[in-house]
Chains A and B, each alone.
Chain A
Amino acid sequence: DAGVTQSPTHLIKTRGQHVTLRCSPISGHKSVSWYQQVLGQGPQFIFQYYEKEERGRGNFPDRFSARQFPNYSSELNVNALLLGDSALYLCASGSFSSVIQYFGAGTRLSVL
């Protein structure tokens, strides 16, 4: 079975631009969570979606938004990019029966 897949793997943007990151969960998983990991720190929780509804939001500005589609894949959108948005963005999927959170390889975003 395929693991959690994220695209693209790397992305370079300039300040003020918009970016969309994509995540496909493990087959059968209905929960998708997004994390931001700045270099040298642990991942910080951004959003969780379950059954296409937002179930949790971390301390991030409204420039960050997300959605989950009927096939349980998800998009993370960031508007008006700032230099400080440069980070590794991680997606995790899970289910209430498996309890373990499985992570994708991440998308490395660089904002210039």
Chain B
Amino acid sequence: KQEVTQIPAALSVPEGENLVLNCSFTDSAIYNLQWFRQDPGKGLTSLLLIQSSQREQTSGRLNASLDKSSGRSTLYIAASQPGDSATYLCAVNAGGTSYGKLTFGQGTILTVHP
């Protein structure tokens, strides 16, 4: 059974800091890994998706890496801003007949203060 863990559970940083969110998963047989952002009481916004054959993906100030063999992914946020405050979730997709079934971590609650 796939299990996904995110560390830290919460993070509070001053504006402008670079930060790293961690995600680990127990079964390395994944199809892809997706990072999401969730604002309070809202749905999920996809930030980055990394295919199992890729090592990293970048979008603006965000960079996500994937080390499938060790079961780890990191989300790097450069020059953090108060608008980045949200819960960040990682999810793995097993693919195949389980395509569409995402297994999520508990999330990291990020607060960026001015």
Contact = CB atoms under 8 A, between A and B. Distances in A.
Contacts of A92: 44, 100, 102
Interface residues of A, number: 28
B100 A90 contact: no
Interface stretch (B13-21, B65-73, B78-86, B103-111): B103-111
A58 B104 CA distance: 13
B114 interface: no
A33 B100 contact: yes
Main secondary structure of the interface of A (DSSP, over half): strand
Interface in B41-83: 41-46, 49, 51
B41 A42 contact: no
B34 interface: yes
A5 to B, nearest CB: 11
B43 A106 contact: yes
Interface stretch (A11-19, A77-85, A96-104): A96-104
B22 interface: no
